[in-house]
Amino acid sequence: MSISSFLPPRRTLMGPGPSDVSDRVLQAMARPTLGHLDPAFIGMMNEVKTLLQYVFQTQNELTFAVSAPGSAGMECCFANLVECGDKVIVCQNGVFGGRMKENVERCGGTAVMVEDNWGDAVDPEKLEAALKAHPDAVLVAFVHAETSTGAQSDAKTLVALAHQYGCLTIVDAVTSLVGTPLLVDEWGIDAIYSGSQKCLSAPPGLSPVSFNQRAAEKIQGRQSKVQSWFLDLNLVMGYWGGEGKRAYHHTAPVNCLYGLHESLVIVQEEGLENSWARHQQNHLALHKGLQQLGIGFLVKEAHRLPQLNSVFIPSGADDAEVRTRLLNEFDLEIGAGLGALAGKVWRIGLMGHASNQKNVDFCLNALKAVL
């Protein structure tokens, strides 16, 4: 057997993630590997924390990157905040609300489901009804930007309702961070998680998270140990914590963190508000072009995510064949529908580095040629 080096093709990634990674981020990841307790690396970790506080728009001290993908960031939030017997209201309007329910149950909690149609935003009135019906609930969990549908919910209103009824909040911002307005402190979000591979345009493998003081106090006041040793914040923050000597917890993915650092520097250079505006501008250009091709959107205009566009597959088009031809003939990736939407929609991403007019034109022309 003789296996040679793997040389991946150069694709244009316009699916639901990962998104295109710039050469600048890839070059950052190729820099010399340091020890995970090296003073120079610790200094860079501090900068990652500061930059994550900027993109989350928070001053939370407990802000860092979990050394695993966004799904581990989700589990980190639930494993630390949910104890056996806790009642958690979970809002589901797509695939990832269902994964929240799984996490609650695996932590020994009881999930009370608030369900909306896939493609709709979470209905605040339904949430309030559930809060009134379950006064013993301690947490509310919802997805800000549902990756399976491209629908965005009103996080500010949902968080305010949860607090009104004495609940903490866990928010999925895997697809929303940097692509659409997200104001953790102003909205009062207690715990939030995201992923490196969406609008941050770093490779998959890291999950930015942030916890406020209310969440930290609940974690510190637990009656039982966090069920996950690796994700136990009481241990992890000995490594990602404040000033002074860091305690060894795990070997961090050093070069991946170089890439995340560089992607965050790029966001800082552009400016967060400018990033939000760019995603919206390119979404509108894509929307106009798809309309001309007779392709409609799943989500109502008021709730559409600019960075993830779920569109109906045109009548007569073969879902898998179109996506395969786009990949083989144009090196272009778009996403299939998930769950109940499989075979009904495509998910076209305009995330981070991939959100530009050139990609919009390229995608529209490729779709036109194949269709």
pLDDT of 248: 87
CA distance 196 to 173: 11
**pTM of the predicted model as reported, rounded to 2 decimal places:** 0.97
**Contact 283/306 with Cβ under 8 angstroms?**
yes
Q: What are the per-10-residue average pLDDT scores of the chain (371 residues)? A: 96 97 98 95 95 98 96 98 98 97 98 98 98 98 97 98 98 98 98 98 98 97 95 89 76 97 98 98 98 97 98 96 98 96 97 98 98 95
pLDDT of residue 244: 59
3-state secondary structure at position 346: strand
The Cα–Cα gap between 11 and 19 comes to 10
Neighbours of 32 (CB within 10 A): 7
Q: Where are the domains of the chain?
A: 12-17+272-370, 23-267
Bridge partners (DSSP) of residue 63 are 210
pLDDT at 237: 81
The single-letter code of the amino acid at 337 is: G
> How far is residue 143's CA from residue 177's CA, in Å, rounded to a whole number?
12
Instruction: Read off the amino acid at residue 311.
Output: V
12-17+272-370: in CATH 3.20.20.10: no
Closest to 86 (Cα-Cα) out of 119, 42, 134, 29: 134
Q: Which DSSP helix (H) or strand (E) runs through 64?
A: strand 62-66
Instruction: Specify the 3-state DSSP secondary structure of 33.
Output: coil
* Residue 78 in tokens: 């639930």
pLDDT at position 243, please?
A: 59
Phi-psi region of 51 (alpha: psi -120 to 50; beta: other; left: phi over 0): alpha
> Which residue reads 């489901």 in tokens?
113
Fold of 23-267: Aspartate Aminotransferase; domain 2 (3.40.640)
Bond preceding residue 18 cis, omega within 30 of 0: yes
pLDDT at 239: 85
